[in-house]
Amino acid sequence: MTAERPKSNRILPRWRAVLILAIILVGFVVVLTRDTDLQWWQDHTLRDQGRMRYMQDRPLPADRGVIYAGNGTALAVNVPAVTIWTDPRIFNQYRKDWDKVAAALNLSPQVLAERVQSGGSGFAYILRQGEPQMGKALNALHVPGIYVQATSRTYYPLGAVTTPLLGLVHLDHHGAAGLERGYDQWLAGHSGTEKVLVDGQGEVLRVLGARHAPVPGHDLHLTINPQIQYWAYMTLLAAQKHFGATEGSAVVMNVENGQILAMASVPSCNPNSRRGCGNPADYVNNAVHQAFEPGSVMKPFMVAAALKTGSIQPDQSFNVSHCLPVGGFCIRDDVVHHELNVAHILKYSSDIGAAKIALRTPAQAIYDMYRAAGFGKEPDLGFAGATGGVLPQPQTWDKARHATIALGYGVSVTTLQLAEGYAAIANGGYHVAPTLIEGQPVQKQRIMPANIAAHLRHWLEGVCAANGTGILAAIPGYAVAGKTGTANMANGKDGFQKNKTNATFVGFAPGFAPKLVMAVTMRGSTRYWNFGGVESAPVFRVTMRHALQELNISPRWCGGKACASKNKGITATQAEIWAEGGGN
């Protein structure tokens, strides 16, 4: 039998208890200190960081002002669009869904990846001003980290018909060209912001309230008539294609109040299609940004200066049978005539006759008439960078320049200036400042006596009659007055290109009581008979006929129908010869 061991009570060292208690106390102090630090000292910092992560200011886009035509038709409007953006920190975690996202946005996966990487660490644009259907398709996928924001974009109902005039708008809703750029401060709205609460994936949980409401832009009301604008553009485009012109422009204006009813330009582009206006040349307003040597359309203003100073008499005649030596070269006519009065010098566009009249007239008087008619002055219509052309000071004119400036060489003008100048002939001698914005006051100033303007109107009617250079501008039932101009384009080497021309026609109707003036210019044409009377006059005829009908300006009636031309036997060949200046 074994003896049982006695039980012993083991006593732990006192220092262990003290150590455990000390550790507990230190931990409690650390926790209490950290809690105090978080609750008191870092309270504002932590709350700010929390707000940064879960409370955000989201932009509220503002609508751009609408641009209206004179009859109330909208020319530039706002339509719904969406902006797609991403937070790459979240979106990168869902790469398995990128193919579906790319398909919904009509993007390739490669392009989507490039756009995600193109932004910062927390933000990148994927698509701006996209179709609303894309936003709906994307929201249906419920992919975290990519978001849809409702916005708007500018839509142009007439497309390419108005692009050079109205211009374009950047993705940031600011004007990039044309009137959109010139009146950007008026049209552009001011974006607002709203405070939202988001979750960890960036989804909006609650809108906390608007901080700043968006302020829409102001509307802009133009004097443009959309029907006349349409016909001016379409006929201009047809002429450009037929004659192979590099560019062209046309302006239709009310001769009494200066209101511009159409301002068309080619080439153009459709701003409503994505990447439709990639070439800057397609949205240049050639009517105000392109200056050119106009040729014979300047002759009526030189004649007006000569009549005003008494340098010639209205019934005076000149011998034009021989070339006129000036400054080492001889001024000639395309077709030989013998003796022409002032009316026939304009009708057949005789360079010899015009030069002889110019050399009788003081250079200062011709310059003053050109200047008073609007040449050499920049337009005040809201087009950034619009040109005033070139009009040399009369002190610099030698004999050769004195003669050739009267023929439309050595001076450069714009299509708008030509319409502006001819309006003064049409309305009885008053220069009227052109306007594009409705409600602007009429600014008139007499630049030639009424009797001189009446003489010119009558003589310019002859230009558009049989044997005249503007026969192709004639409109059945209406008296039409105008002038052709053809100038060879400069080659940049103190000479001229043989085959490329500036082809111009300027006219007004009805001739007995003019209401409308129209200037047409085609540049760089190389095909067929690229003269002003052949190339530009038909653009005038088609557009002006529609404009007169649009404004309910009736033709002259002969019995029960509109008066027809008395020259029914004119052949197409004869018309072309007359348009070139050949007469009979």
Distance between CA atoms of residues 458 and 465, nearest Å: 11
DSSP 254: E
DSSP 149: E
Query: Got the DSSP string for 473-497?
Result: G-BTTB--EEEEEEEEEE-SSSSEE
Cβ atoms within 10 Å, residue 360: 14
Distance between CA atoms of residues 330 and 323, nearest Å: 6
Cβ atoms within 10 Å, residue 322: 11
Cα end-to-end span (Å), the chain? 160
Q: Output the CA torsion sign for 24, 26, 27, 31.
A: positive
| 350 is a catalytic site residue | no
Distance between CA atoms of residues 380 and 247, nearest Å: 23
Catalytic residue, chosen from 249, 265, 268, 296, is: 296
Distance between CA atoms of residues 508 and 497, nearest Å: 30
Distance between CA atoms of residues 147 and 109, nearest Å: 17
Of 56, 47, 44, nearest to 206 (Cα)?
56
Query: Got the DSSP string for 401-428?
Result: HHHHHTTT-S-BB-HHHHHHHHHHHHTT
Q: Where are the alpha helices (DSSP H) in 310-396?
A: 342-347, 351-360, 363-372
Look at strands 192-198 and 204-212 and give their pairing.
antiparallel
Query: Do residues 443 and 430 make contact, with C-beta atoms less than 8 angstroms apart?
Result: no
Residues known to be catalytic: 296
